[in-house]
């Protein structure tokens, strides 16, 4: 039997009169609608900055300072985009850098973490629990406190201003290993035994049985990793100085209107914002159901 939840005394085992009940219904209906309105209002508020960014990116310089501000599009212009893409800075190259680094980290990171998660879930080896506990415990630490040590370490390894320095640190994700391990623990052993009897080798057990069954977790982690790597700012800001190697997030800080804003710069800054927001938004729409599931696996089992 489930334990009875605590319900205030005045409500416990008292017959409800029908008249009171209809009042309560009415009140609930009104209350429900008010909270619904608040919900929609908040959704609107949370989308508004994005709408504002897109809208402003199509405005002319002076229009962005008009009072009252134009809340929808009049005479859209691509001037700002032209300005960003034709600037003396290699903006397209920055976008390509971001894409290359994000895709590489996502693919290689998933492979590495899926292998490790598989070992932690389905293999017995000495030191396994201690190692796993160590991996887990680093999840609770703020990544920012590793910024300077990792900076010095990669400096001493001569990795600054290379693609490696943007790729390698992102590959070993404790969170990914944890999530994949949790998922692989639930796979039935019979599957593996049967395949082993049929003569499958260890690599095949992993690649053809464990991985396909872990697809939902992998899809979720893949989208996470891509979005997080694409949006990463502090690390590349610290370790990349070469203009040609910058990811878009760092590169745009050099563009007009990003760090300091002159009078007519907002549309240009917003256009840069839109350019770097588009890829994660596309990925999000493609994989949104995995995203949601991935977030909840971690939270509910953790």
Partner 1 sequence: MNYAKREEMWGYIFVTPFLVLFLVFVLVPTIMSVVMAALEWYDRKPVWVGMDNIDHVLNDKRFWQSVRNTLTYVGMFTFAAVALALAVAIRITKFRNQGMRQGLQSAFYLPSVVSLVAVAVVWRYIFNNQFGLINYLLSVVGIEPVNWLGNPQTALPSLVFMDLVTGLGVGIIIFVAAVLGLPSELFDAAHIDGATGWLETIYITIPLLTPSILYVAVTTTIVAMQLFVSVFFLTKGGPVGSTLTLAFLTYRYAFVFLKVGYASAAGLALLLLTLALAVVLFRWFRSVVEY
**Site residues (CB under 8 A) for partner 1, limited to 247-266:** 249, 252-253, 257-259, 261, 266
Position among 138, 186, 194, 208 found at the interface with partner 1 (CB under 8 A) = 138
**CA atoms of 175 and 140, how far apart (whole Å):** 10
At 287, give phi and psi (nearest 5°). -120, 25
Position among 166, 171, 219, 245 found at the interface with partner 1 (CB under 8 A) = 171
Which x/- pattern, by CB under 8 A, does the window 63-82 give for partner 1?
-xxxxxx-------------
Q: Does position 288 bind partner 1 by CB under 8 A? A: yes
Q: Does position 290 bind partner 1 by CB under 8 A? A: no
Is the Cβ of residue 99 or residue 277 nearer to partner 1 in the bound state? Answer: 277
C-alpha distances in Å from residue 57, one per residue of 72, 152, 255:
12, 39, 14
Footprint (CB under 8 A) of partner 1, residues 92-111: none
CB of 139 to partner 1, least distance (A): 9
Q: 81-100 burial, b if ≥16 CB within 10 A, otherwise e? A: bebbeeeebebeebbebbee
Q: Does position 246 bind partner 1 by CB under 8 A? A: no
DSSP-derived secondary structure letter, 157:
T
CB of 52 to partner 1, least distance (A): 6
Q: Which stretch binds partner 1 (CB under 8 A): 13-21, 73-81, 89-97, 183-191?
A: 13-21
Q: What is the DSSP string of 72-92?
A: S-SS---HHHHHHHTSSS-HH
Token output for 215: 């697809």
Which x/- pattern, by CB under 8 A, does the window 199-228 give for partner 1?
---x---x--------------------x-
**CA atoms of 79 and 265, how far apart (whole Å):** 12
Position among 45, 72, 199, 212 found at the interface with partner 1 (CB under 8 A) = 45
C-alpha closest to that of 119 among 181, 42, 45, 72 = 181
């Amino acid at each position: 039997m489930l334990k009875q939840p605590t319900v205030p005394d005045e409500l416990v085992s008292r017959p409800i009169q029908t008249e009171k009940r209809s009042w309560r219904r009415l009140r609930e209906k009104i209350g429900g609608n008010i909270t619904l309105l608040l919900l929609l209002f908040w959704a609107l508020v949370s989308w508004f900055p994005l709408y504002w960014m897109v809208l402003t990116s199509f405005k002319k310089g002076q229009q962005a300072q008009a009072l009252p501000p134009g809340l929808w599009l009049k005479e859209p212009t691509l001037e700002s985009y032209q300005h960003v893409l034709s600037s003396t800075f290699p903006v397209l190259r920055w976008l390509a850098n971001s894409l290359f680094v994000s895709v590489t980290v996502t693919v290689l990171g998933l492979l590495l973490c899926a292998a490790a998660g598989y070992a932690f879930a389905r293999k017995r080896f000495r030191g396994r629990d201690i190692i796993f506990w160590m991996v887990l415990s680093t999840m609770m630490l703020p990544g920012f406190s590793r910024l300077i040590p990792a900076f010095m370490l990669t400096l001493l390894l001569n990795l600054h201003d290379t693609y490696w320095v943007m790729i390698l640190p992102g590959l070993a994700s404790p969170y990914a290993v944890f999530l994949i391990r949790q998922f692989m623990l639930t796979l039935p052993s019979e599957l593996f035994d049967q395949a082993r009897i049929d003569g499958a080798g260890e690599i095949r057990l992993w690649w053809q049985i464990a991985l396909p069954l872990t697809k939902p977790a992998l899809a979720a982690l893949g989208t996470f990793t891509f979005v997080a790597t694409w949006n990463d700012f502090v690390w590349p800001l610290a370790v990349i100085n070469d203009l040609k190697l910058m990811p878009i997030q760092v590169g745009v800080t050099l563009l007009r209107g990003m760090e300091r804003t002159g009078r007519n710069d907002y549309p240009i800054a917003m256009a840069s914002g839109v350019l770097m927001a588009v890829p994660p938004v596309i990925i999000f729409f493609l994989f949104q159901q995995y995203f949601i599931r991935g977030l909840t696996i971690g939270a509910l089992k953790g």
